[in-house]
Amino acid sequence: MAVDYTLYLVTDSTPEILGDRCLADVVESGIKGGVTVVQYRNKTADTAELVREASTLHEITRRHGVPLIINDRIDVAIAIGAEGVHVGQDDMDLQAVQRILRTSLPNAIIGVSTSSVEEALTAARNGATYLGIGTVFATSTKKDTKSIIGAIGVQKILTELRSNSLNTPCVCIGGVNASNVQQILRQSRHDDVALDGVAVVSAIMAAPNPSEASQNLRNLIAALPAIS
């Protein structure tokens, strides 16, 4: 299944972002506005709650034909039959994830977070389905971001990947919103190198109207001239 990474929504269930709204409603609203991939990310829920919330989200994403990717928890992804998982540099390494998923979710999308050329080349060479590149800009959504690499850092990673003939799809993450998305996409481009999409948390999850916020981001992305 070809995945459209244009607008990748990472969920956040913290009160600062979700307030008293229902996660499923916010996610569905985002999808209606143009979100193309959803990652369920919840750092505090216990396992039972993770499985419950992930299955609720999966019902919604399936109905809309959007892939659901589970952050960190391969067991939860397997339990609900999600389309994929996303792991960071401090999670289980990619090859171990691939071994686990080979039998239980053989077509799973496996995304890896990267913040340097070396990490990106390694993940791409080892067969990651897509890469999350960041952190682009400082963000209060993720407290433990190590490296802020800017749009130029993103461009450097993309250029290295493509010049090594690694065509793994890439999205950038960290502080992306309607006021900087075009700048990031423009600055990340070089010759025929471009991101496949952007990943956001607060720009959609914290918006009063997630559908409008998504639609607005899609329009801003579509307004940029296409590469190649």
Residues whose CB is less than 8 angstroms from the CB of residue 160 and which lie 6 or more positions away in sequence, other chains included: 117, 120, 121
What is the number of alpha carbons within 13 Å of residue 16 lying toward its C-beta?
6
**For residues 182-221, which are near ligand TZP according to CB under 6 A?**
200-203
Q: Which stretch binds Mg ion (CB under 5 A): 15-23, 69-77, 98-106, 209-217?
A: 69-77
172 binds ligand TZP (CB under 6 A): no
153 binds ligand TZP (CB under 6 A): no
72 binds Mg ion (CB under 5 A): yes
Query: By rule CB under 6 A, what count of residues binds ligand TZP?
Result: 15
Contacted entry of Mg ion, ligand TZP, none for residue 207, CB cut-off 5 to 8 Å set by kind: none
CB closer to Mg ion out of 72 and 196 = 72
93 binds Mg ion (CB under 5 A): no
Interface map 120-149 toward ligand TZP (x if CB under 6 A):
--------------xx---x-xx--x----
Contacted entry of ligand TZP, Mg ion, none for residue 72, CB cut-off 5 to 8 Å set by kind: Mg ion
Among 52, 36, 50, residue whose Cα is nearest residue 4: 36
Q: How far is the CB of 72 from Mg ion (least distance, A)?
A: 4
91 binds Mg ion (CB under 5 A): yes
CB contact burial 14-53 (16+ within 10 A = b; e otherwise): eeebbeeeebeebbbbbbebbbbbbbbbbeebeeeebbeb
- Which SS3 state, helix, strand or coil, does residue 221 take? helix
| Cα 164 from chain centre | 23
CB closer to Mg ion out of 75 and 160 = 75
Among 35, 27, 42, residue whose Cα is nearest residue 3: 35
**CA dihedral for 68, 73, 76, 78, sign (positive or negative):** positive
Query: By rule CB under 5 A, what count of residues binds Mg ion?
Result: 3
Contacted entry of Mg ion, ligand TZP, none for residue 134, CB cut-off 5 to 8 Å set by kind: ligand TZP
Strands 7-10 and 68-71 come out as unpaired
Among 153, 147, 183, residue whose Cα is nearest residue 170: 153
Contacted entry of Mg ion, ligand TZP, none for residue 176, CB cut-off 5 to 8 Å set by kind: ligand TZP
CA–CA dist 129, 83 (Å, integer) = 12
Contacted entry of Mg ion, ligand TZP, none for residue 145, CB cut-off 5 to 8 Å set by kind: ligand TZP
Q: Which residues bind to ligand TZP, rule: CB under 6 A?
A: 10, 134-135, 139, 141-142, 145, 173-176, 200-203
